[in-house]
């Protein structure tokens, strides 16, 4: 076979595949058509020749050698038609009730050979056995094989006067085995294809589920980022606006400074919002704006503390350990937790309070501690543990990414937040 011949097989195989698919669809829609076609084919190929020979014998013709005429009984046309109908017509329900069809065909087959008659329509027994192996229950096959062997043994005994009984039995059992094996092979192949289709459907469902989970996780991440950005900057802006309004009459310069700080905080919030929401937009062409700034890290905590100090909360910040070796994911988590904790201190302790911030790295543990002094007004009270808002929930979600935990409790007139993170690399992270 040449290369040209091989290259030309592609369209042919594709056409055959499409034809087979159309045939299967048509068969599922009208299964009686195929069953009727099989019966008609058996009648045409195997029953009609026997009828023609029977009519010729009536006219005086002799059929076959003398030894075969002595072995087989010559049936009248009516009896032959009855036996042929009993052998072939049960094939109409060979797929809907394969066991019943096999039983009916076998019964007529045994009756026919008990009378000593030989018919070409006996091929219906092998068709029924094939259909039982393909469509029937597997536990029915052992008794079907035993019944078939007994019926074929009767045939071998009947023809022993003409041919060797062992040769006849070998040929008949080989044919029955081939029919049985063909049915089982096609059945196994169909089961494998059904399993592959089911697996493909499950994989498609799992892929869709993974996509939905990824979308949900991304939405949750964006929601946390939005909460941290908006909550922190709005708290700073509100505090500065209140301070500016108070100082507008007594110290206009302080009010002007507060307005500048409000503008800086607003621009910072706007820049961070653009960076977070930028991942949700699909760019059709090259970006017209400069590249977005990277995610904040530990180096940005100093600027965060300065912004909080400008809002009126005194912040004392210290670090310990090798914080520069932390990866960007850990640094972003630490920054957002510190941002949320300082925002809560600014919101509940207010201007004039003091907050101590500590970030400590020890081996594979990282500890964040934020402790504020509480409101300067002696009447002020720290909120109790049952008043937790979304801020603490967000901190716990971020800490959980690194196997950490968050504790928040009153400390004198103020409030203390402590976060412990596990920096041990996960499996496969090395």
Question: What is the per-residue pLDDT across 341-372, written as a single tens digit (0 to 9) for each?
Answer: 888 888 888 778 889 999 999 988 999 999 99
Choice among 191-200, 207-216, 221-230 with the minimum mean pLDDT: 221-230
Q: Which pair of structure tokens corresponds to residue 287? A: 């970006």
Q: How confident is the model at residue 9 (pLDDT cuts 50, 70, 90)?
A: low
What is the pLDDT of the chain when averaged over all its residues? 78
Report d(CA 346, CA 371) in Å as an integer. Answer: 12
Whether residue 114 has pLDDT greater than 50 = yes
pLDDT (0 to 100) of residue 176: 92
Question: What average pLDDT does this structure show over 403-420?
Answer: 88
Whether residue 288 has pLDDT greater than 70 = no
Supply the DSSP symbol for 377: S
- In sequence order, what are the beta bridge partners of 361? 366
Cβ distance 94 to 128 under 8 Å? yes
Q: How confident is the model at residue 211 (pLDDT cuts 50, 70, 90)?
A: confident
Report d(CA 336, CA 395) in Å as an integer. Answer: 8
Choice among 3-7, 232-236, 249-253 with the minimum mean pLDDT: 3-7
Q: Which pair of structure tokens corresponds to residue 297? A: 């890290």
Region of 403 (left: φ > 0; alpha: ψ -120 to 50; beta: rest) is left
Question: What average pLDDT does this structure show over 267-273?
Answer: 70
Question: What average pLDDT does this structure show over 77-99?
Answer: 90
Q: Which pair of structure tokens corresponds to residue 242? A: 């209140």
Q: Hey, how many other C-beta atoms are within 10 angstroms of the C-beta on 36?
A: 13
Contact residues for 34 (Cβ-Cβ < 8 A; gap 6+): 27
Angle at the Cα of 152 from the Cα atoms of 147 and 157, rounded to 5 degrees:
125
Reference 392, options 374, 373, 409; nearest CA is 409
Contact residues for 172 (Cβ-Cβ < 8 A; gap 6+): 152, 155, 156
Choice among 86-90, 127-131, 292-296 with the minimum mean pLDDT: 292-296
Reference 259, options 274, 234, 242; nearest CA is 242
Map residue 415 onto helix, strand or coil: strand
Q: How confident is the model at residue 214 (pLDDT cuts 50, 70, 90)?
A: confident
Q: What distances in angstroms separate CA 200 from CA 190, 204, 208, one per listed residue?
A: 15, 6, 12
Cβ distance 119 to 50 under 8 Å? yes
pLDDT (0 to 100) of residue 381: 46
pLDDT (0 to 100) of residue 174: 93
């Amino acid at each position: 076979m040449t290369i040209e011949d091989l290259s030309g097989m592609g369209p042919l195989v594709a056409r055959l595949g499409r034809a087979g698919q159309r045939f299967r669809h048509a068969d599922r829609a009208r299964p009686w058509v195929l069953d009727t076609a099989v019966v008609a084919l058996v009648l045409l190929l195997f029953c009609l020749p026997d009828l023609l020979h029977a009519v010729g014998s009536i006219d005086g013709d002799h059929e076959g050698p003398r030894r075969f005429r002595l072995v087989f009984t010559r049936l009248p046309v009516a009896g032959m038609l009855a036996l042929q109908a009993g052998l072939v017509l049960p094939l109409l329900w060979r797929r809907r009730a394969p066991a019943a069809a096999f039983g009916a065909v076998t019964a007529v087959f045994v009756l026919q050979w008990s009378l000593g008659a030989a018919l070409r329509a006996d091929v219906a027994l092998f068709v029924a056995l094939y259909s039982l192996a393909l469509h029937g229950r597997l536990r029915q096959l052992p008794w079907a094989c035993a019944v078939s062997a007994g019926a074929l043994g009767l045939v071998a005994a009947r023809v022993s006067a003409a041919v060797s009984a062992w040769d006849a039995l070998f040929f008949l059992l080989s044919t029955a085995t081939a029919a049985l094996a063909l049915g089982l092979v096609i059945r196994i192949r169909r089961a494998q294809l059904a399993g592959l289709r089911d697996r493909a459907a499950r994989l498609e469902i799992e892929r869709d589920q993974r996509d939905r989970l990824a979308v949900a996780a991304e939405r949750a991440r964006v929601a946390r980022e939005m909460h941290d950005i908006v909550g922190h900057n709005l708290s700073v802006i509100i505090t500065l606006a209140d301070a500016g309004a108070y100082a507008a009459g007594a110290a206009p310069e302080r009010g002007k400074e507060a307005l500048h700080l409000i503008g800086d905080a607003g621009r910072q919030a706007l820049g961070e919002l653009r960076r977070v929401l930028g991942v949700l937009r699909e760019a059709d062409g090259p970006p017209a704006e400069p590249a977005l700034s990277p995610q904040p890290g530990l180096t940005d905590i100093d600027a965060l503390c300065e912004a909080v100090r400008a809002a009126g909360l005194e912040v004392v910040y210290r670090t310990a350990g090798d914080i520069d070796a932390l990866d960007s994911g850990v640094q972003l988590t630490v920054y957002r937790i510190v941002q949320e904790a300082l925002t809560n201190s600014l919101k509940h302790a207010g201007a004039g309070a003091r907050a101590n911030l500590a970030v400590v790295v020890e081996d594979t543990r990282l500890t964040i501690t934020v402790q504020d002094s509480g409101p300067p007004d002696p009447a002020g009270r720290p909120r109790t543990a049952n008043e937790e808002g979304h801020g603490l929930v967000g901190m716990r979600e971020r800490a959980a990414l690194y196997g950490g935990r968050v504790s928040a409790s009153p400390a004198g007139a103020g409030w203390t937040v402590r976060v412990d993170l596990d920096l041990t690399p996960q499996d496969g992270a090395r």
